[in-house]
Amino acid sequence: MSVVPPFGNLITAMVTPFAEDGSLDPDGAAELARYLVDEQDNDALVISGTTGESPTTTAGEKVTLLRAVIEAVGDRAKVIAGVGSFDTRHTIETAHEAEAAGANGLLVVTPYYSKPPQEGLVQHFRTVADETALPIMVYDIPHRTGTPIATESMLRLAEHPRIVAVKDAKKDFEATSIVISRTDLAYYSGDDAVTLPMLAIGGVGVVGTSTHFTGRGMKRLIQAFAKADTAEALRLHQELLPVLTGVFAAQGVSMVKAGLELQGRGVGGLRLPQVPATDDQRETFAGLLRAAGLLD
């Protein structure tokens, strides 16, 4: 790896625990964060990302959640706050709140729904970066946002000193390869199942969902690749692949919360419009976890 990973190699986009009445569960968040760092080998956690059901949590809840996680693991892992929205001013406000709460970095997703032009995207990310002292990971996920970040736009963003990383869920390896070859941006796979291909073209790691369960295995995969043990990296990729893909049989957060409950680590329900995994989905995922040795 020619680029130093600013947030380590293994990052989990953490689900947000809720109490039985649907309220935020900060104690549950702290417990889950400790598990992900101490037992699943995560170098960093993303709080209030899509898997964290950020569209359904209030600004106050986001700050409470962030502080609980920082207090739990902030001396052992970096904590990245998801602050993106389709409104630049609102994104800046959320970034300021996260910075004041003690976040180590920010995840900023491409503005969605309004489908701004590329110049608007560049100005959005640059303006947010100008307004904070924290390092920023740009989140490029066009199948959700409706707009991919063009290669030329990403090259321009790389010129900003605080835009340091990309969570890449675009699956355009040609475009990604060009940006990696011409910038110092640290590329993290935004799709668990293509972590190994991302490493092969110069990526540094993954921001995962299945890593709630596969963290230790994914860390070994990344380390094996870094040591040029490509055979071991491929073996681990193939061993974990059913879980890496199976976690998306439904919305990722649904399957993660179902899997954690199966492991005896229940983190509560989901907030609408997300709904729990079906019984069939739970049963299938349980089988995948057992086959991978991740469930007794």
Catalytic residues, by residue number, are 139, 167
3-state secondary structure at position 255: helix
Give the Cα separation of 164 and 158 in Å (integer). Answer: 7
Give the Cα separation of 247 and 115 in Å (integer). Answer: 28
Give the Cα separation of 207 and 167 in Å (integer). Answer: 7
Give the Cα separation of 171 and 85 in Å (integer). Answer: 22
Residue 8 φ/ψ region, left for φ over 0, alpha for ψ in the -120 to 50 degree band, beta for the rest: left
Beta strand ranges found along 14-154 (DSSP E) = 44-47, 78-82, 105-109, 136-140
Task: Dump the DSSP string for 165-191.
Answer: EEEE-S--HHHHHHHHHHS-PEEEESS
Q: For tokens 């954690």, name the residue.
A: 260
Give the Cα separation of 157 and 173 in Å (integer). Answer: 18
